[in-house]
Amino acid sequence: MIWSTWRQHRPEALACLAGLAAAAAAILYADASVGLLRTNTDLVQDIRLALMAAPLLVGVFVGAPLVARDLEQGTHRLVWTQGTTRSRWLRVKLLLVFSVVAAAAALLAGLLTAALFSTPEHVDRWYWFDFLAPAFVAYVVFALWLGIALGAVIGRTYPAMAATLVLFVVARAVVEGILRPRYLPPLSIRIVDFGTIDIPRGMSADWPVGYAYYDAHGHPMSLDDILALMNRDRVSIPTPNLAAHGLSGWAYFQPDARFWLFQGIETAIFLGLAALLAGLAYHWLARRVT
Amino acid sequence: MAVITFHLDSRSGVSYYVQLMQQVRQAVRFGMLRAGDQLPTVREVVAAVAVNPNTVLRAYRELEHEGLAVTRQGLGTFIAAGVAAPIEQPLYRSLRGDLERWIRAARSQGVDDATLAALFDHVLRESHEEVRA
Amino acid sequence: MTVCLEAAGLGMRYRSTWALRGCDLRIPAGRITALVGPNGAGKTTLLHLAVGLLRPTEGSVRVLGWIPAAEPDLVLARLGFVAQDTPLYRRYSVAETLRLGRALNRRWDEAAATDRLRRLRIPLDRRVGRLSGGQRAQVALALALAKRPELLLLDEPLASLDPLARRQFLQELMDAVAGDGLAVVLSSHLVAELERVCDHLVLLDGGRVRLAGDIEGVVAEHRLLVGPREAARPAGVHVVAAEQAQRQTTLWVRGEPPDLAAGWGVSPLSLEDVVLAYLAGPAPGEAAPEAAVEVSA
């Protein structure tokens, strides 16, 4: 069955291999030439863009058609009625594809991680959060199983690809934008002057996740409110010092020490979702009515 | 190259196995099959004519009952020895010529095929009764 | 007489419609069975249940003695199946298609398959998508036969084939039956083309079995009676369908009328006529038959 899985998905496999080779080559080249930490160069930005897109491409072009194409074209009526049972066919095929894809992702992310940390220069880890080994592999695995599950349930290739695209982007945006800053309660430092956040020396590697301003009674104030207030009082209190206006402000950070913990949490979230989706896909297909 | 080929008419209303038997009898009558000749195997017939193998088996079995054929295990089905000799060529040609003339004459008078066939059957049957009488 | 496929109270429901309901069936082994019925009668559903692609909503189906959904390994090893429209991977070559079969089946006779395809002059290195409809059907048949099944199920195999391709397909099929003695069930919505090849018939309509039996028996048991309109219905026969014209009543019946009043003419019916009579629905004034008509061998 290894041959039949390879033969059936040969185009995708070759495309992934080509993509993997190109990305690895780009990373090695960038590392050797400008250095990956030159994040203001086009080359590094392009590499980041490609790696950002990679899990999505895997989900849409490998995961979604994996089962959907057979269902859509009716060839499941051919392959599920040979001498191999449906569950064996699915088990072998899905596990095989999953293993290969996960290994390729681990290889690529491992390469990048090693290249990033190979120099003694300081790395802004939070800036590379999405691309380091555990998180990147989790995104790819999640995207793959999302595609497979949607392909199984929807049963048609193009709609499954579209749904995978949308749901993957939403999932990543929600987790990264809303959940990640809150995995653990952030630390805070006081903002002294409005408009200036003095970052103490030891906190330069920490990840800023937000700020908040309050009035004397503890009610939240928006930036516009504060500007209006300071404008109103600019003659009497001509200083941006918040305390002078009876206001207070706080800046929130996730300390650098928590970095790997956060990687672990995010990885666990996406791997957990992937496991749920795998279960859903398998269960759905095992009981599917033709 | 098969000895004879069969042709089945799905519209004649005659059972297929009967049609096969008739065609074997006809082949014997006209000398295309002689005593000892092997009939096409079931597989050959079926591959040529797309009919149920059981139909061919049945036809061959019935021919065996009639004494026209003999099945030898593992070898095939053969025309039995002592089968009526085919009609001689000159006699065949002369009879055929007479019949053709008769048909042409009837047709020129506007008689259709169905009436011709019925007339022939009727006279043929009556001729047996005449002999008995 | 062993049974190669049997169903008891078999029912299959999709959402709110029953594709099959109360289906009772016993298909004898060693026969070539025609599964006929109009489109939507449930033929494909029945075949998919037999092959394990579907699980019954109610009742049971057994193939060669086993329940397909419960023992797929045992059933699939002995069952050949060609689905409607002969699904194949269009981008695979013929040789790759055979290789797929070899990879997925335990018992595999590659030589027989390649011999057959060579005999039919189908090039092994051509992509399946480039073959004609008739050639694709032959490849699908060769694939199904290469696993040396005991029972072969074919879902409308002749549907999109031209007459020559149809004839060639049936020739190959009959050759395989003559050589291996396998049982075959072929479904079709056309009766006439199956008559020379099949010896057993199952008629499905509206998800139920209406008529089942050996074709010879079915044809022998049914007759056409034509009589004057005012004449009394002959007794001792079961009326399958009836038609009233101005001066004349036509009855399609099963059974031999013990004595016919004057004015009634009897004539035989072709298999297609019998099937059409059953499909026409109950005769006016007759109740719809609940039980299927079974004609024993």
A119-173, pLDDT tens digit by residue?
777 788 888 999 998 999 999 999 999 999 999 999 999 999 999 999 999 999 9
pLDDT at residue C289, as a whole number: 55
Residues C179 and C242 in one domain: no
pLDDT at residue C284, as a whole number: 46
DSSP state of A193: B
Minimal CA separation from C170 to chain A, in Å? 21
Residues C96 and C202 in one domain: yes
pLDDT at residue C194, as a whole number: 86
Minimal CA separation from B29 to chain C, in Å? 26
Which parts of chain C have pLDDT scores under 70? 1, 281-292, 296-297
Statement: residue B1 has pLDDT above 80: no
Q: Are C196 and B55 in contact (CB < 8 Å)?
A: yes
Using CB atoms, list chains with 3+ pairs below 8 Å to chain A: C
Say whether residue B11 is in contact with chain C using an 8 A CB cutoff.
no
* Identity of the residue in A7, A81, A82 whose CB atom sits nearest the CB atom of C53: A81
Instruction: Give the gyration radius of chain C's Cα atoms.
Output: 21
Q: Which residues of A touch C73 (CB under 8 A)?
A: 83, 85
**Cβ partners under 8 Å of residue B100, min gap 6:** none
CA distance B45 to C237: 39
A64-77, pLDDT tens digit by residue?
999 999 999 999 99
pLDDT at residue C285, as a whole number: 47
Touch between C and A (at least 3 CB pairs under 8 Å): yes
Question: Which chain B residue shows the shortest CA-CA distance from C270?
Answer: B13
Mean pLDDT of chain C: 88
Q: Are C192 and B53 in contact (CB < 8 Å)?
A: no
pTM of the model: 0.84
**Cβ partners under 8 Å of residue A148, min gap 6:** A63, A64, A66, A67, A94, A277, A278, A281
Burial state string for C144-174 with b = 16 or more CB within 10 A and e = fewer than 16: bbbbbbbbbbbbbbbbebeeebbbbbbbbbb
Residue A289 banded pLDDT, cuts 50, 70, 90: low
B83-127, pLDDT tens digit by residue?
766 677 778 788 888 999 999 999 998 888 888 888 888 888 888
Total count of domains within chain C: 2
Minimal CA separation from A261 to chain C, in Å? 46
Task: Give the domain CATH number at C62.
Answer: 3.40.50.300
A285: enclosing H helix or E strand: helix A259-286
Domain residues for the domain of C26 are 3-216
* Identity of the residue in C32, C196, C216 whose CB atom sits nearest the CB atom of B10: C196
CA distance A91 to A140: 19
Residue C288 lies in a domain: no
Residues C210 and C238 in one domain: no
Residues C170 and C39 in one domain: yes
Q: What mean pLDDT is predicted for residues A186-209?
A: 80
Minimal CA separation from C271 to chain B, in Å? 10
Burial state string for C110-125 with b = 16 or more CB within 10 A and e = fewer than 16: eebbbebbeebebeee
> Which residues, numbered 168 to 227 in chain A, qualify as contacts with chain C under a Cβ-Cβ cut-off of 8 Å?
none
Q: Are A81 and C14 in contact (CB < 8 Å)?
A: no
pLDDT at residue C115, as a whole number: 93
Question: Which chain A residue shows the shortest CA-CA distance from C70?
Answer: A85
Looking at chain A, how many residues does it have?
Answer: 290
Q: Which residues of B touch C192 (CB under 8 A)?
A: 10
A210-258, pLDDT tens digit by residue?
888 888 888 888 888 888 888 888 778 778 788 888 888 888 888 888 9
Residues C136 and C79 in one domain: yes
Residue C286 lies in a domain: no
Domain ranges of chain B: 16-79, 89-132
Mean pLDDT of chain B: 85
A22-60, pLDDT tens digit by residue?
999 998 888 888 777 777 788 888 889 999 999 999 999
> For tokens 């934008």, what's the residue?
A177
Residues C92 and C22 in one domain: yes
CATH architecture of structural domain B16-79: Orthogonal Bundle (1.10)
Q: Are B52 and C196 in contact (CB < 8 Å)?
A: yes
- Give me the interface pTM, i.e. the ipTM: 0.88
CA distance A198 to B17: 104
Residue C289 lies in a domain: no
Q: Are C103 and A1 in contact (CB < 8 Å)?
A: yes
List the single best residue of C53, C71, C86, C150 to mutate versus A (max A Cβ within 10 A): C53
pLDDT at residue C291, as a whole number: 59
Q: Are C171 and B43 in contact (CB < 8 Å)?
A: no
pLDDT at residue A104, as a whole number: 94
